[in-house]
């Protein structure tokens, strides 16, 4: 009987992988892979994200995250102007071509605001801080780890929801069953409608000794429509950007 169970597990590996590990244990193993020395807590560095659209448009953003200082800076170029969106804790600074005084007309023309800057901070620190960000308050981990074949690969799957004050989306994170590397994730606004998106990850950049997925390809859940790709690159000097 013992050998029969082993054979069954071997044949139906996707049905046995998740047994014996809880959601919190899976997250700990994933963090041990991506951030073995707990460097995300003191992360302080610059990197670029190049966004490629299905039409071939390319946009590059320079990002600075300084967690000890609770600061975030996003620098982009638009219509010949250099736009800087800076958050230091809850203080917002907006600049165009180095000037901190920006008219309402400029804000509207370039689609920048303190509200948008805060959203950008939350967006980039969340996505590029995964899976470590799943330790944040208000994150609800499903204790049961699922196993699933997703886009042709077998994964350990962690379901994540959030307390009402944090968010209402449902997320699934897909981890390599051998290394525990995070290789994909998806989210739903309403899972019954199969809305939302999934993101396939490939490659890695090591920044501040944190292994961060290099390439993120985005697709709609409902029809697999390709939405674009984000490519992470670290700066050669790795010096924090000035505010």
Q: What is the pLDDT of residues 167-211, one digit of tens each?
A: 999 999 999 999 999 999 999 999 999 999 999 999 999 999 999
The two tokens of residue 125 are 């620190």
Angle at 153 between CA 150 and CA 155, to 5 degrees: 75
pLDDT in tens, 76-132: 998 788 999 999 999 999 999 998 877 888 888 888 899 999 999 999 999 999 999
pLDDT tens-digit series, residues 61-78: 999 999 999 999 999 998
Question: Which tens digit of pLDDT belongs to each residue from 2-18?
Answer: 444 444 444 444 445 55
pLDDT of residue 165 exceeding 60, the answer is yes
* The two three-digit tokens of residue 24, written as one number: 């919190």
The Cα–Cα gap between 117 and 136 comes to 20
- Whether 49 shows a pLDDT value over 80: the answer reads yes
Per residue in 232-241, pLDDT tens?
Answer: 999 865 444 4
C-alpha to C-alpha distance for 19 and 17, rounded to whole angstroms: 6
Distance (Å, whole) CA 108 – CA 116: 12
Distances (CA, A) of 187 to 15, 26, 190, 192, 235: 23, 19, 9, 12, 30
The answer, as to whether pTM is greater than 0.85, is yes
With residue 5 as reference, give the H or E element that holds it: helix 2-11
CB 135 within 8 A of CB 156: no
Helix (H) or strand (E) holding 11: helix 2-11
Domain 21-234, classified CATH 2.60.40, yes or no: no
């Amino acid at each position: 009987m013992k050998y029969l169970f082993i054979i069954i597990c071997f044949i139906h590996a996707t049905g046995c992988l998740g047994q014996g590990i809880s959601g919190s244990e899976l997250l700990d193993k994933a963090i041990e892979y991506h951030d073995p020395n707990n460097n995300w807590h003191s992360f302080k560095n610059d990197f670029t994200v190049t966004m490629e659209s299905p039409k071939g448009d390319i946009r590059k953003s320079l990002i600075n995250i300084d967690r000890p200082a609770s600061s975030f800076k996003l620098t982009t170029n638009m219509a010949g102007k250099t736009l800087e969106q800076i958050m230091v804790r809850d203080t917002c600074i907006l600049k165009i071509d180095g000037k901190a005084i920006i008219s309402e007309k400029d804000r509207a023309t370039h689609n920048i605001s303190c509200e948008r800057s805060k959203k950008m901070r939350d967006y980039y620190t969340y996505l590029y801080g995964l899976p470590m960000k799943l330790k944040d308050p208000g994150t609800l981990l499903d204790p049961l780890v699922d196993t699933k074949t997703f886009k042709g690969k077998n994964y350990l799957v962690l379901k994540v929801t959030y307390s009402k004050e944090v968010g209402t989306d449902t997320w699934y994170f897909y981890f390599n069953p051998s290394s525990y590397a995070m290789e994909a994730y998806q989210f739903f606004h309403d899972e019954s409608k199969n809305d939302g998106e999934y993101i396939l990850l490939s490659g890695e950049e090591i920044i501040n000794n944190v292994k961060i997925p290099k390439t993120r390809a985005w697709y709609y859940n409902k029809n697999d429509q390709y939405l674009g790709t984000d490519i992470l690159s670290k700066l050669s000097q790795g010096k924090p950007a000035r505010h």
